[in-house]
Amino acid sequence: MYNSYNLGKIGENIAKKFLQKKSYEILETNFFYKKNEIDIIAKYQNLLIVVEVKIRKTNFFGEPYLSVDLKKQKKIIKVTNFYIIEKNIDLEVRFDIISIVGNKKIYKIEHIKNAFYPTNF
């Protein structure tokens, strides 16, 4: 049986492999700043892609991406700003969500590009 931490790690691995198959270059995983985390930071073409990964065993309570609320978005943007300054990044940023329903062997993946924008705040 999976606990939420293990399920989250499984989801992140699924998402990472999914992105790599689509020619995304993974720059960081589990990047932390002040107790907040970005699951995956990647480069695709001339974009910095910041990815929040959400996984659930079922969609009985709704799709996983619905849990990325305004509060979570603000935290992701805060960490992204720190990352850009720390790494001296000069790329346009896109915020994506990878939403997964299922488990390690059987799952449905949805890649939501431009899931939210920092101008919303």
Residues 42-81: pLDDT tens digits? 999 999 999 999 988 777 677 777 778 899 999 999 999 9
**Domains of the chain with CATH codes:** 4-120 (3.40.1350.10)
Q: What is the pLDDT of residue 107?
A: 86
- Looking at residue 120, the DSSP 8-state letter turns out to be G
Q: Residues of the chain with pLDDT > 90: what percent?
A: 69
- Residues 15 and 112: their CA atoms lie apart, in Å, by 12
Higher per-residue confidence, 25 vs 55: 25
Is the pLDDT confidence value at 4 over 70?
no
Largest Cα–Cα distance in the chain? 43
pTM: 0.89
* Whole-number percent of the chain with pLDDT over 70: 90
Cβ–Cβ contacts within 10 Å for residue 97, how many? Answer: 27
Confidence band (pLDDT; 50, 70, 90) for 85? very high
Per-residue tokens: 114: 């431009």
